[in-house]
Amino acid sequence: MHGLTKTFGKVRAVDDLSFTVEPGQVTGFLGPNGAGKTTTLRMALGLITPDTGTATFNGVRYAGLPAPMRQVGAVLETAFHPARSGRDHLRVYCRATGLPVGRADEVLDQVGLGPAGRRRAGGYSLGMRQRLGLATALLGDPSVLVLDEPANGLDPEGIQWLRGFLRHLAHDQGRTVLVSSHLLSEVEQTADRVVIVGAGRLVRQGSLAELRAGSAGSVLVRSPQVAALADLLRGDGTRVELTDGAPDGVTVSGLTTDEVGRRAFAAGIELHELRSHTSGLEEVYFRLTAGQEQYAARTEQGAA
Amino acid sequence: MGTVLTRLVRAEWAKLFSTRVWIGLLVGACVLSGAFAALFTAFAGNPDSGLPPLDSPEYGQLAFSLATNATVISVVLGIIGITQEYRHRTATPTFLATPQRGRVVIAKLLAYAVAGIGLAVVVCAVTTAVVLLYGNARGNAPDLSGDNLRVLAFAGLALVIYTVIGVGLGALLKNQVGAIVAALVYLFVVEPLLRSVPATAGAYKWLPGGALEAMTATFQGPDLLEQWQGALLLLGYGLAAAFLGTLLAVRRDVV
């Protein structure tokens, strides 16, 4: 993506956005709702014409790819005719792209939709619809996968499956995966890198480790000697707050669980519970996108 | 390009025949044209109906032209063929599979022109069967030859062209319900009005309905073009709708 800009009416949905997605990795494309993620992905796939800028796959624009479905697979929304079976839906695209129609059954099995393939897609649950979308993207066995909010509407089990599936596609099969989400927690366990956007602009990009380095998050501690523990930790300026609803608990910001445990042990303070509350990344994400929700909401309206 | 287009046309047929919409439309078209043929045969020569008698040449041509009653189904078939992609948002995977959107629309035009031929053959067969069997039962069926045969052939051609017009119209309007309502209002309200109002009756012959009438009615009625001119004009409308529809589908963002 290079210098992508798109304006809908008066709203600039995407503003001079540039980033690169590396092969063999899962890249999370993060931003609040209306930050321009979908518009960016649609521009990359030639569905929306950008005002300025270009998006290329190995240097070639999507529309210029000789066999786009074999190189790039995309799941943008659950789109199918409700009266057509999932299998027939897939076979249509096999025919359109010259793939053997037998691929339809292969990808149905791959996403665990085999038995439901001959049923009308209109009767599918939300999770099955997402799987059908994923199956469509996988038809051409592409080396690049682009997924827009694929976890939307999935139940916890479906999300768990999706995470594993995406990791498998990227790490075991060496595909490039770009997956967008407005929830950090969705990509945190899957992505190697993240690209964060807000109000159509690039906010931050880098590996998860790099972003985590910015903040250590917060830690929950319970101890019968909670007052002593608080004094001990406050001694060097660490922020310690009482936890609501737990008289013996405190929330410690800026230290890891290891660090809190080590200091408590050194001071001979007994601990009953010690666990990380928010990850550092979560705080980074909130901080980076803070204040852009309002503007983003307006963008959403304009883009709708 | 040739093989790509063949693939895309096949994909369009796969879409058409993997839902049951086509069955409903085909049955509707047969009922529509067959019922009119039965009704006209029943009342042919009846002085109150104003219809010419069964053994007159006028009746023969009129009876076989009744196949054109199914043109409304042709238009709807064409409209559904393209607007279902927008209605069910499958335009996204369709254009992802084939980013050269012009090819998709051209494939649709070809696929639906052929589907229109199939529809026309069945409708013409049903119309002919009703006219001949019922006419014989009443004692005198018109011959399927000469002018009568030509009227039937032109009626079939009109059914095909209306399907193409439907695809073009669907590409222009995108909204399925809107496009169908617009087509129905135009066919059943606007054109009959323009035809009957003296001030606009002169322009009527240049409209699709006027062209259709020129193709299939060789007597009475308003001032019309020659049969072949009507066919060319209607074809022109079909191509214009197809061209504009293609142009817009290629340029518009798919959101």
Least confident window among A21-30, A76-85, A201-210, B89-98: A201-210
- d(CA B104, nearest CA chain A) in Å: 9
Is A235 a member of any domain?
Answer: yes
Q: Measured between beta carbons, which residues in chain B are less than 8 angstroms from residue A89?
A: 18
Tell me the residues of B at the A interface, defined by beta carbons under 8 Å apart.
3-4, 7-8, 10-11, 14-15, 18-21, 84, 88-100, 251, 253-255
Q: What angle do CA B231, B234, B236 make, to 5 degrees?
A: 110
Whether residue B89 and residue A93 make contact (CB cut-off 8 A), yes or no, is no
Q: Give the other-Cβ count within 10 Å of B18's Cβ.
A: 18
pLDDT band at A304 (very low <50, low <70, confident <90, very high): very low
Q: Are residues A159 and A239 in the same domain?
A: no
Q: Measured between beta carbons, which residues in chain B are less than 8 angstroms from residue A47?
A: 92, 95-96, 253-255
Q: Residue B101: give the domain boundaries.
A: 2-250
Q: Are residues A258 and A154 in the same domain?
A: no
Q: What is the mean pLDDT of chain A?
A: 84
Is B46 a member of any domain?
Answer: yes
Radius of gyration of chain A (CA): 23
Q: Residue A262: give the domain boundaries.
A: 218-278
A88 touches chain B (CB under 8 A): yes
Domain with residue A272: its CATH number is 3.30.70.100
Q: Are residues A198 and A224 in the same domain?
A: no
* A100-145 pLDDT tens trace: 999 999 999 999 898 899 999 999 988 899 899 999 999 999 999 9
* A151-194 pLDDT tens trace: 887 888 888 888 889 989 988 998 999 999 988 888 888 888 98
Residues 45 to 64 of A: which have CB under 8 A from any B CB?
Answer: 45-49, 62-63
Q: Measured between beta carbons, which residues in chain B are less than 8 angstroms from residue A62?
A: 99
Q: Are residues A76 and A199 in the same domain?
A: yes
CA A108/CA A96 separation, integer angstroms: 18
Q: Are residues A135 and A249 in the same domain?
A: no
Task: Tally the domains of chain A.
Answer: 2
Q: Are residues A149 and A187 in the same domain?
A: yes
SS percent in chain B: helix, strand, coil, step 5: 80, 0, 20
Q: Measured between beta carbons, which residues in chain A are less than 8 angstroms from residue B253?
A: 42, 47-49
Is A296 a member of any domain?
Answer: no
Is B31 a member of any domain?
Answer: yes
Best of B96, B105, B110 to disrupt the A interface (most A CBs within 10 Å) is B96
- d(CA A123, nearest CA chain B) in Å: 14
CA B151/CA B174 separation, integer angstroms: 33
Is A297 a member of any domain?
Answer: no
Q: Are residues A223 and A121 in the same domain?
A: no
* B19-68 pLDDT tens trace: 999 999 999 999 999 999 999 988 888 888 788 888 888 888 889 999 99
Q: Are residues A13 and A150 in the same domain?
A: yes
Task: Tally the domains of chain B.
Answer: 1
The structure's pTM equals 0.82
Is B255 a member of any domain?
Answer: no
* pLDDT (average), residues B219-238: 82
CA B53/CA B60 separation, integer angstroms: 9
Whether residue B7 and residue A98 make contact (CB cut-off 8 A), yes or no, is yes
Of B89, B251, B253, the CB nearest to A77: B89
Q: Measured between beta carbons, which residues in chain A are less than 8 angstroms from residue B254?
A: 42, 47-48
Is B61 a member of any domain?
Answer: yes
Q: What is the ipTM of this complex?
A: 0.84
Here the tokens at position B238 are 């079909």
* Residue A179 pLDDT: 93
* B140-192 pLDDT tens trace: 888 888 888 999 999 999 999 999 999 999 988 889 999 999 999 999 899 88
Chain A residue with minimum CA distance to B249: A47
